[in-house]
């Protein structure tokens, strides 16, 4: 009887799927993050004027925040079943793919546009397709650097805190290690990305504005992470059903030893 092939192993397939979805979400979040949306207008409610550190504003976020909560859930799921090595691997892979994507975005911007294409969307209110393309995909280098650095640092902190909580609580309280690691990692992530992009960058935001916007972004991410706790348990249940209880226990035991 022929031996089982590597890709027949359900754990291997599971890691490939989780890593692919994780990287796709991370890359998409970076590229759609150029759009800033108004949460209140989107929900059709009256604007909520926050007042922090002497600054006021409405709830405006990058479109990338739609995807980051799912990245957190995937991080915690991979942490649970594949440990530190799994999370570090996919984090570095995601960073490489983000950089790869931006390199080709800038290469595409540099290509000489076809004359007819530049005016192809005038009927849709876009007078110059090339300028629109460059504005959307040509994010500032400070923004890119801040986002990539914050993502990587946040992921490495997340995996460390997750396993510290796991070591202290054992296999109990999945929600605690997931939410606790996200709370600390996203505190760093939310402040680092804005500091690099808008304080060190050319806009030179004052400290009060930096603290206010970072705090609002952090609050949003935490509320989203808490709201998605049921999804974390649902994914865990689905993985247990897919792998079988014995294989699931084996993976989690291996992950805890990392």
- 233-252 pLDDT, tens digit per residue, is 899 899 999 999 899 889 98
Q: Is 50 helix (H, G, I), strand (E, B) or coil?
A: strand
Cβ-based neighbours of 162, under 8 Å, separated by 6 or more: 76, 79, 177, 178, 180, 181
Q: What is the pLDDT of residues 202-222, one digit of tens each?
A: 788 899 988 988 898 888 888
pLDDT above 60: residue 2: no
* Tokens standing for residue 209: 């504005």
Q: What is the pLDDT of residues 141-186, one digit of tens each?
A: 788 888 889 888 988 898 888 888 888 877 777 788 888 888 888 8
* Residue in 217, 249, 231 with CA at minimum distance from that of residue 72: 231
Q: What is the pLDDT of residues 13-54, one digit of tens each?
A: 999 999 999 999 999 988 888 888 888 888 888 888 888 888
pTM, two decimal places: 0.87
d(CA 211, CA 239): 39
Contact call for residues 186 and 132 (beta carbons, < 8 A):
no
């Amino acid at each position: 009887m022929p031996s089982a092939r590597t890709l027949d192993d359900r754990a291997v397939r599971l890691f490939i799927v989780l890593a692919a979805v994780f990287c796709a979400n991370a890359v998409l979040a970076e590229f759609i993050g150029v759009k800033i949306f108004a949460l209140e207008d989107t929900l059709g409610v009256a604007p909520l004027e926050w007042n922090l550190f002497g600054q006021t504003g409405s709830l405006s976020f990058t479109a990338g925040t739609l995807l980051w909560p799912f990245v957190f859930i995937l991080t915690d799921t991979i942490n649970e079943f594949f440990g530190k090595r799994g999370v570090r691997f996919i984090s570095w892979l995601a960073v490489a793919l983000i950089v790869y994507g931006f390199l080709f975005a800038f290469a595409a911007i540099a290509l000489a546009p076809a004359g007819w294409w530049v005016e192809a969307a005038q009927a849709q209110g876009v007078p110059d397709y090339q300028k629109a393309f460059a504005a959307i995909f040509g994010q500032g280098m400070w923004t890119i650097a801040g986002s990539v650095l914050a993502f990587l640092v946040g992921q490495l902190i997340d995996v460390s805190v997750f396993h510290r909580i796991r070591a202290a609580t054992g296999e109990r309280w999945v929600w605690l290690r997931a939410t606790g690691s996200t709370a600390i990692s996203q505190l760093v992530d939310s402040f680092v990305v804005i500091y690099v992009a808008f304080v060190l960058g050319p806009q030179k935001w004052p400290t009060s504005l930096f603290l206010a916007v970072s705090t609002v972004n952090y609050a949003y991410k935490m509320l989203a992470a808490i709201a998605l706790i049921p999804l974390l348990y649902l994914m865990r249940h689905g993985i247990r059903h897919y792998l079988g209880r014995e294989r699931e226990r084996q993976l989690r035991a291996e992950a805890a030893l990392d």
